[in-house]
């Protein structure tokens, strides 16, 4: 999950929000989320799931969480579409929470804390920085914790209810190991997914439209992991959609055909396959065992004397205080995490009040000072420098030359890893059926909109 930049960058920042519950507290986070949700807010109800209300406030909070974590700047029409998607996801989560409550499945505060710790690690930030980001976006920390708790409790519920129906035999593992060995001389793909189910023919057009909208947000620069975590309906959503490594022929034919045509870093259009629609993201191409490295001609080792560059400036007054400079550096670090090539710079920078953007064109590196030149040479093609302090503020330089495709080498997995993958594939299929049955028997009523 990638976190967004502060929405209101200024020389002085707001104080941090209160930290979340301690991991030592004996709290059932899923029950807390459900209990809070059952209390209707004064601004009205957006939907009811088996008589359990989802308030307009809940919807607005989740929209704010998504917009802040995706780094997008949606138009009014896109915001309307996001609201529909968010409400649908909240209805699904409410159904899962109610089922967990009925089955007495709980989630501890430490479970949620561990997941948040992983998010912080992935984004190279502290708890205090996270609190500031949520506060500046108007998002209660409880909104993030409730979302994470819903994902964890559904995973636990699926394991409790369906785990004993999954049987992975030695023969299953042997067959898969043999298949992997036969395919060791083929390319492999490190893939992430977004999935939304089509449970009835009447849902076909609506789900396709929703997935088209998600693709539009991805093309506008929204991080794949953030979109997958918010809207994907497969258990992989908790890991930002990560499917792991697959080889040609492993996925259903409709997905496999599209996957082999993707370039590293590329996202597919929505794909109709068994059960619903998928969007695939090829994170990395892995070369066959024993294959050489990619052609070095395509990956120059030396930085050219000229490069197409973009400059981002967070202006600072003369002689800023150390605290002011630290806040600007924190904002720059968060900003940097959202930039995915020069095409995304304008959209991302527009989210940060006070930030300025300059297109430097094909710039002569010799005209830069030694520190900035070294930072640019350290950054990969298509990458972004670390934040740099200057006389006018804090700066980031974005390289607009073509990014090097992420290409690695396939490593044969262990038997334990293969067994775990088979287990996950089988239980994911059962989980979809479980959720389909819950939706079929549920009373879901959309009440109103804001």
By the 10 Å C-beta count (0-12 exposed, 13-18 middle, 19+ buried), 177 is classed as middle
How far the first Cα of the chain sits from its last, in Å, is: 27
What band does 25 get if pLDDT is binned at 50, 70 and 90?
very low
**What is the per-residue pLDDT for 135?**
81
The pLDDT tens digits of the residues spanning 134-161 come to 887 788 999 999 999 998 999 999 999 9
| CATH number at 301-399 | 3.10.50.40
Q: Is the pLDDT of residue 405 over 70?
A: no
Averaged pLDDT, 115-139: 80
Quote the longest CA-to-CA distance of the chain.
70
How far, in Å, CA of 2 to CA of 36, rounded?
A: 26
CB contact at 8 A, 238 and 156: no
**What is the per-residue pLDDT for 179?**
86
What band does 290 get if pLDDT is binned at 50, 70 and 90?
low
Distances from the Cα of 88 to the Cα of 47, 50, 248, angstroms: 9, 14, 33
What band does 419 get if pLDDT is binned at 50, 70 and 90?
very high
* Structural element, H or E, at residue 62: helix 56-70
Q: Is the pLDDT of residue 218 over 90?
A: no
Range of weakest confidence among 79-83, 318-322, 403-407: 403-407
In the numeric block, which tokens belong to residue 16? 């941090």
**What is the per-residue pLDDT for 8?**
36
185-293+407-411 has which fold? Chitinase A; domain 3 (3.10.50)
The pLDDT tens digits of the residues spanning 234-283 come to 888 878 889 888 888 888 999 999 998 888 888 999 999 989 999 999 98
Does the domain at residues 29-161 carry the CATH identifier 1.10.4030.10?
yes
How far, in Å, CA of 347 to CA of 335, rounded?
A: 11
Contacts with 380 (C-beta within 8 Å, 6 or more apart), sequence order:
399, 403, 404
The pLDDT tens digits of the residues spanning 2-16 come to 444 333 334 322 223
**What is the per-residue pLDDT for 72?**
66
Q: Is the pLDDT of residue 132 over 80?
A: no
**What is the per-residue pLDDT for 280?**
96
Mean predicted lDDT score pLDDT of the chain: 82
The pLDDT tens digits of the residues spanning 34-74 come to 676 655 455 689 999 999 999 999 999 999 888 877 766 77
What band does 192 get if pLDDT is binned at 50, 70 and 90?
very high
CB contact at 8 A, 410 and 188: yes
pTM value > 0.75: no
**What is the per-residue pLDDT for 19?**
36
| Backbone Cα Rg of the chain | 23
**What is the per-residue pLDDT for 168?**
93
Averaged pLDDT, 177-192: 86
How far, in Å, CA of 296 to CA of 301, rounded?
A: 8
Contacts with 113 (C-beta within 8 Å, 6 or more apart), sequence order:
20, 21, 22, 23
Does 301-399 match 185-293+407-411 at the fold level?
yes
- What are the strands of the beta sheet with 306-315, ordered from one edge? 356-364, 306-315, 393-399, 388-390
The pLDDT tens digits of the residues spanning 297-347 come to 344 445 677 888 999 999 988 888 888 888 888 888 878 877 877 877 887
- Determine how β-strand 276-287 pairs with β-strand 407-409: parallel
Averaged pLDDT, 204-219: 90
- Looking at per-residue pLDDT, the higher value among 325 and 351 belongs to 325
**What is the per-residue pLDDT for 298?**
45
Q: Where are the domains of the chain?
A: 29-161, 185-293+407-411, 301-399
**What is the per-residue pLDDT for 18?**
32
| pLDDT over 90 percentage in the chain | 34
């Amino acid at each position: 999950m990638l976190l967004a930049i502060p929405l209101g960058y200024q020389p002085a920042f707001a104080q941090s929000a209160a930290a979340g519950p301690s991991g030592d507290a004996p709290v059932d986070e899923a029950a807390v989320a459900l209990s809070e949700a059952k209390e209707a807010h004064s601004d009205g109800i957006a939907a009811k799931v088996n008589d359990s209300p989802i308030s307009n406030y809940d919807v607005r909070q989740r929209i704010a969480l998504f917009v802040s974590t995706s780094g997008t700047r949606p138009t009014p029409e896109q915001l309307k579409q996001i609201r529909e998607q968010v409400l649908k996801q909240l209805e699904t989560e409410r159904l899962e929470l109610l089922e967990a409550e009925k089955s007495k499945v709980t989630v501890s505060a430490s479970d949620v804390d561990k997941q948040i710790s992983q998010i912080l690690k992935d984004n190279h930030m502290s708890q205090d920085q996270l609190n500031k980001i949520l506060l500046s976006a108007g998002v209660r920390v409880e909104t993030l914790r409730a979302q994470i708790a819903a994902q964890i409790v559904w995973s636990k519920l699926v394991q409790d209810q369906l785990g004993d129906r999954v049987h992975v035999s030695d023969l299953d593992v042997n067959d898969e190991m043999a298949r992997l060995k036969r395919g060791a001389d083929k390319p492999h793909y490190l893939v992430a997914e977004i999935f939304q189910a089509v449970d009835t023919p009447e849902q076909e057009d609506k789900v396709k439209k929703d997935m088209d909208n998600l693709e539009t947000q991805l093309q506008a620069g929204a991080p794949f992991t953030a979109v997958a975590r918010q809207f994907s309906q497969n258990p992989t959503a908790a890991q930002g959609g990560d499917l792991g490594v697959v080889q040609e022929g492993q996925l259903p034919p409709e997905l496999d055909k599209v996957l082999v045509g993707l370039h590293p870093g590329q996202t597919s259009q929505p794909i109709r396959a068994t059960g619903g629609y998928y969007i695939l993201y090829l994170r990395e191409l892995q070369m066959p065992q024993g294959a050489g490295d990619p052609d070095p001609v395509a990956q120059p080792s030396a930085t050219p004397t000229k490069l197409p560059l973009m400059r981002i400036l967070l202006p600072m007054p003369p002689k800023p205080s150390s605290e002011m400079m630290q806040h600007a550096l924190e904002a720059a670090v968060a900003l940097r995490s959202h930039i995915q090539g020069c095409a995304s710079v304008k959209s991302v920078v527009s989210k940060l009040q006070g930030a300025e953007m300059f297109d430097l064109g094909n710039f002569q590196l010799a005209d830069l000072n030694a520190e900035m030149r070294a930072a640019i040479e350290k950054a990969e093609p298509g990458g972004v420098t670390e934040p740099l302090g200057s006389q006018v503020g804090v700066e980031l330089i974005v390289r607009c030359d073509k990014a090097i495709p992420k290409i690695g080498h396939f490593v044969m997995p262990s038997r334990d890893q293969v067994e775990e993958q088979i287990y996950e594939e089988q239980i994911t299929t059962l989980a979809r059926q479980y959720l389909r049955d819950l939706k079929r028997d549920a009373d879901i009523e959309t009440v109103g909109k804001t």
